[in-house]
Chains A and B, each alone.
Chain A
Amino acid sequence: MSSEISKKQPRPDFIRVEDFSFHYGEKQAIFDIDMAIPENEITALIGPSGCGKSTLLRNMNRMNDLIDGVRHEGDIRLDGVSLYDPSVEVISLRKRVGMVFQKYNPFAKSIYENVVFSLRVAGRNGKKELDETVERSLRDAALWDEVKDRLHDSAFGLSGGQQQRLCIARAIANRPEILLMDEPCAALDPLATLKIEELITTLKNRYTIVIVTHNMEQATRCSDRTAFLYMGKLIEYGKTVQVFENPKEEQTESYITGRFS
């Protein structure tokens, strides 16, 4: 896989968002965003509710295509290739770019089947491979010890935090290059949140992670870079340390200090 080679020299503009605008029908949700996301780093997207964080994230694996009446301008390039290039197969794009959703959403299947879903749809059904994948993914998602005895029970028997970690395990089962995470801790208690943050930091070496969060501490704790979005516009983007300690824009400062109206 390309990620193995790229490990040596991370590409600085692995994902390039170029003059990107996005419309839900009449409503424009993203205005002319321009940013480069480096490989093997964690990039946090922050901003007030409704500012377009999820929209931007969902465009990175073209999940927004599933919504009717959407339209975009500009481009997003992954490793130099436009996502909208006619030669791009959306299915394989989504295999490269995994996603963890804002609300955990396991399937009505067993834990095991949830994890191997991406392999099964790819037609890989070898028992050995599946078993290995399940163990690796669940270990990576720090869930293995909790569920190893009940892999074939329904995923709904897990707690909310466990279900979210299961979704992460599911997303990394097929080893995507990029992992998009939309408020992965929104529904979790502090302990589970901590576990997931640890997990994100350990995943960092192997994946390029874009994470949306409302939690400023979380952004500071685990991200390398932070982008602040406001009303569909990219207000500020830079190293996390810089954005939080020395914001260039006044809006950013008021937002992160909580003086936002």
Chain B
Amino acid sequence: MPPEPANNPDPRRFEVSKATLWFDRFMGWAIRFGGIGVIIAVFGIFWFIGKEVIPLFKPGAVVKAASVTSGTTPVILGVDEWGEMPFFYSGGNKVVFVDGETGARSEREVPGLEGQEITASSYDPLQRRIALGLEDGRVGSFIVGYERLFENGEPKGVKPFITAEPWFELKNAGGPVTAISYGDAGPTRIMAVKTAEGKVEVIRLGLKGGLVGGKKLSVTAEVDITPQISGEVALIRASQNGQMVLVADKVGKVSYFLADTQGVTKRQEFTPFGGQGLAQMDFLFGGVSAILTAEDGTQEQWSLFRKTEDAERLFGMTKDFPDVGDGRVTFAKSQRNRTFLTGAGRGLSIRHSTSGVVRWEGTVDIDPAAAILDAKGESFWIASETGEARKFEIKDHHPDAGVQAFFGKVWYEGGAGPVYQWQSTGGSDDFEAKLSLVPLIFGSLKGTAYALLFAIPVALLAAVFSAAFLPADVKRIVKPTMEIMSSLPSVVLGFLAGLWLAPILADRVPSVMMLVILIPFSALLVGYVWCRMPLAFRNRFEGGNEWMIVIPFLALAAWIGWSVGPLVEKMFFVYVEPGTGKRIADFSLWWPQATGTSFQQRNSLVLGFIMGFAVIPVIFTIAEDALSNVPKNLTAAASALGANRWQVVWTVMLPVASSGIFSALMIGFGRAVGETMIMVMATGNTPITEWNLFSGMRTLSANLAVELPEAPDGSTHYRTLFLGAIVLFAMTFVLNTIAEILRQRLREKNKLV
């Protein structure tokens, strides 16, 4: 017998031990700390990305930074690349330099004049070259250079100097030169000249010379183009690529001449403002576009492009800028991008040609007669006829960014119309960045759509099969296998897709088509025949093991499909070579010919298939759990009421598990949208916007992975990539929110009390 319980039991039995209390308190704080830490981390990420992206949408700003006086009336205004010491050239024999900080003034002689009067001058800020035409018909140039001075290792001030360049005699024309323009592309250069007699000439310069003494710049061709111009010449401009000359006459008719080794040919004549004279005409940076301003202040951009594939490259209007207003028109182009400073009278604005937007607008306190943007685009100088000059600092780090540039259609230089295009970097300095996110958003949607198109049916059917049909012992193998599959590194999948699967599938598209038709069809056929079998025979197989019978038929169907593919190709997908009429049975040639869309080896078909390996296990696992967790007493009730297995699934399991299945789909969607490695390796990464199954795509995530390492920190490109990340996040967020709302509704509807 156990001893009787004591009458005065230990009073401490109601106390909680110190250790438990401590542990409880500690865990309380640890959990709080962890939770708050997660929230802080999430907001930290937002803060970081936001910090990178917000500057993209800031408008430009301009502040006055210096004000000096030169005492000369400038025809040409120039400045060093740091914007510190402008020079003023009045068309005479001296160049006046004024220190922007101290106002100190110095002068340099124009070299090689030999006492002749200067009758024409023009300035090319890219080379910092002043081209001159003289009274005696000579043409030439000199370069204004600056040397950086240092004090204690710190840059302090600049020292100007002048470099003389050769002079050339015009052979065909004599007399004073009244207008000149110089275009320099290194080895080939061009000068366009007008003389007092009314002659217009194009002079090509080249490096010629013997072996001794190096090469010498000399005239390689001098072509008189006067006969091809009807009106009285008002403006002439040579392009920076040394190949084009634009000549505008007094009534606003512009003639475009192309100068190459073949000679100088007139390509086009256009009248941008219908008979109205031009106040301004200049090539933009890159030399493919020109900004034209009419006397009434209308401003347009004209660019060279081909209207159709095989047409000539001609000028056409691509953009219409806001009017500059009334007054003397100012123009200065950037030397690093497609920004330009323009205006009329005292009202100035900074505009960007790619997106066609005004970055900044304001008024200044002098009447500008000349203007110049520094080489870095960080400041501009203007000077009035009285010799007053002002420096303004430009705070506009991302002139090529903006809502229009990212999400709108933009007419890029060389294009036949406005398009959505992504091409962030190019081979040359004068490359025009194309920063539309639309093709990337499209790519993400396309990649996700094709991935899910394949994955969702397979994963859901598999989940239903596993949860409702498969015997437990088989399920014990299948489920963990699928879970392991979901942890396959996507780089391995991408590698397989790009290097192994893509080449195989590219050759066997008809086989794949046959598989897509034959496999489901044979499964249905086997199912049909099975139902017609005697019950006694069917009952010999334990419920759920019927798959053993289906497998050999599926394998057979797959084998047949794969083998008859080439035959099908011979019958239906015959490519006829356009020239020879030769017939080739090749789907990858036939598809572009038949549909006009491209066929790429790394295409959506490959992607959808390989993404299946990444997405199917995720959807399968979660959906299977949701279905398996449907209370057994419900499925049992349905079975007891005479529902067959499929009816149990359809009427009981699916409705109850629907919210879980929805979650599975959303997680699968998230996986597909965010998937990067497979997208990088299997899609070809071409940022196109077509749904074509046989072409690739470039997704936002892949774009980030591919381009972020090469984007300079803080550049427009870099920040745009982060904008892409935000867009990706926003897309997922919106879709997930909608899905979550739907899921809650479903759950409410099928709630089990």
Check if A81 is an interface residue, CB within 8 A of chain B.
no
Instruction: Tell me the complex Cα distance, A28–B642, Å.
Output: 28
Q: How far is the CB of B531 from chain A (nearest CB, A)?
A: 12
Residues of B with C-beta under 8 A to A103: 633
Known: A94-B640, A95-B642, A118-B641. A156 touches B633 (CB 8 A): no
Residues of A with C-beta under 8 A to B536: 86-87
Closest chain A residue, CB of each to CB of B542:
A65
Q: How far is the CB of B536 from chain A (nearest CB, A)?
A: 4
Is A88 within 8 A of B639, CB to CB? no
Check if A66 is an interface residue, CB within 8 A of chain B.
yes
Is A94 within 8 A of B750, CB to CB? no
Residues of A with C-beta under 8 A to B540: 86
Q: How far is the CB of B647 from chain A (nearest CB, A)?
A: 5
Instruction: Tell me the complex Cα distance, A171–B635, Å.
Output: 14
Closest chain A residue, CB of each to CB of B749:
A108
Check if A223 is an interface residue, CB within 8 A of chain B.
no
Kindly specify which of B94-102, B154-162, B186-194, B650-658 makes contact with the partner chain: B650-658
Give residues of chain B (297-332) contacting chain A, Cβ–Cβ below 8 Å. none
Cross-interface CB contact of A101 among B543, B637, B749, cutoff 8 Å: B637
Is A156 within 8 A of B751, CB to CB? yes
Is B753 within 8 A of A156, CB to CB? yes
Q: How far is the CB of A238 from chain B (nearest CB, A)?
A: 29
Residues of A with C-beta under 8 A to B265: none
Is B637 within 8 A of A65, CB to CB? no
Residues of B with C-beta under 8 A to A89: 535
Check if B644 is an interface residue, CB within 8 A of chain A.
yes
One digit per residue, 1 when the CB lies within 8 angstroms of any chain B CB and 0 when it does not, for chain A 105-124 equals 10110000000011011100
Cross-interface CB contact of A108 among B633, B635, B643, B752, cutoff 8 Å: B752
Check if B472 is an interface residue, CB within 8 A of chain A.
yes
Is A68 within 8 A of B640, CB to CB? no
Is A63 within 8 A of B641, CB to CB? no
Give residues of chain B (644-695) contacting chain A, Cβ–Cβ below 8 Å. 644, 647, 651-652, 655-656
Give residues of chain B (526-568) contacting chain A, Cβ–Cβ below 8 Å. 535-537, 539-540, 543
Check if B638 is an interface residue, CB within 8 A of chain A.
yes
Of listed A61, A68, A103, A107, residue having the most chain B CB within 10 A: A107
One digit per residue, 1 when the CB lies within 8 angstroms of any chain B CB and 0 when it does not, for chain A 63-74 equals 101101100000
Check if B37 is an interface residue, CB within 8 A of chain A.
no
Cross-interface CB contact of A66 among B537, B631, B636, cutoff 8 Å: B636
Instruction: Tell me the complex Cα distance, A107–B473, Å.
Output: 29
Residues of B with C-beta under 8 A to A91: 642-644
Check if A167 is an interface residue, CB within 8 A of chain B.
yes
Check if B164 is an interface residue, CB within 8 A of chain A.
no
Instruction: Tell me the complex Cα distance, A88–B535, Å.
Output: 8
Cross-interface CB contact of A94 among B473, B634, B639, B655, cutoff 8 Å: B639
Residues of B with C-beta under 8 A to A95: 641-642
Closest chain B residue, CB of each to CB of A65:
B543
Cross-interface CB contact of B651 among A87, A121, A171, cutoff 8 Å: A121
Closest chain A residue, CB of each to CB of B540:
A86
Is B637 within 8 A of A61, CB to CB? no
Is A118 within 8 A of B636, CB to CB? no
Instruction: Tell me the complex Cα distance, A88–B540, Å.
Output: 11
Check if B503 is an interface residue, CB within 8 A of chain A.
no
Residues of A with C-beta under 8 A to B644: 91, 121
Check if B471 is an interface residue, CB within 8 A of chain A.
yes
Interface residues of A, count at CB 8 A: 31
Closest chain B residue, CB of each to CB of A123:
B647
Residues of A with C-beta under 8 A to B543: 65
Residues of A with C-beta under 8 A to B638: 107, 117, 121
Closest chain B residue, CB of each to CB of A158:
B753
Closest chain A residue, CB of each to CB of B632:
A66
Is B642 within 8 A of A122, CB to CB? yes
Check if A98 is an interface residue, CB within 8 A of chain B.
yes
Is A108 within 8 A of B750, CB to CB? yes
Known: A103-B633, A105-B637. A118 touches B472 (CB 8 A): no
Residues of A with C-beta under 8 A to B631: 105
Instruction: Tell me the complex Cα distance, A118–B540, Å.
Output: 26
Instruction: Tell me the complex Cα distance, A61–B641, Å.
Output: 10
Check if A257 is an interface residue, CB within 8 A of chain B.
no
Q: How far is the CB of B753 from chain A (nearest CB, A)?
A: 4
Residues of B with C-beta under 8 A to A101: 633, 636-637, 640
Instruction: Tell me the complex Cα distance, A121–B631, Å.
Output: 20
Check if A99 is an interface residue, CB within 8 A of chain B.
yes
Is B753 within 8 A of A171, CB to CB? no
Closest chain B residue, CB of each to CB of A95:
B642
Residues of B with C-beta under 8 A to A120: 651
Check if A2 is an interface residue, CB within 8 A of chain B.
no
Give residues of chain B (491-548) contacting chain A, Cβ–Cβ below 8 Å. 535-537, 539-540, 543
Is B636 within 8 A of A121, CB to CB? no
Check if A251 is an interface residue, CB within 8 A of chain B.
no
Of listed B471, B635, B640, residue having the most chain A CB within 10 A: B640
Check if A193 is an interface residue, CB within 8 A of chain B.
no
Instruction: Tell me the complex Cα distance, A46–B647, Å.
Output: 34
Instruction: Tell me the complex Cα distance, A86–B542, Å.
Output: 11
Known: A69-B472, A86-B536, A156-B753. A105 touches B641 (CB 8 A): no
Is B641 within 8 A of A94, CB to CB? yes
Is A63 within 8 A of B640, CB to CB? yes
Is A117 within 8 A of B651, CB to CB? yes
Residues of A with C-beta under 8 A to B655: 108
Give residues of chain B (351-388) contacting chain A, Cβ–Cβ below 8 Å. none
Q: List 7 A-B contacts (CB under 8 A).
A: A86-B537, A87-B536, A89-B535, A94-B639, A108-B655, A117-B641, A170-B641
With A94-B640, A107-B637 given, name 16 new contacts (CB 8 A): A66-B636, A66-B639, A86-B535, A88-B539, A95-B642, A98-B641, A99-B640, A105-B631, A105-B636, A107-B634, A107-B651, A108-B750, A117-B641, A118-B641, A118-B642, A156-B753
Residues of A whose CB lies within 8 Å of any CB of B are: 61, 63, 65-66, 68-69, 86-89, 91-92, 94-95, 98-99, 101, 103, 105, 107-108, 117-118, 120-122, 156, 167, 170-171, 174
A-B complex: 8 closest residue pairs judged by Cβ atoms: A68-B472, A86-B536, A95-B642, A118-B641, A121-B643, A99-B640, A105-B633, A156-B753
Residues of B whose CB lies within 8 Å of any CB of A are: 471-473, 535-537, 539-540, 543, 631, 633-644, 647, 651-652, 655-656, 749-753
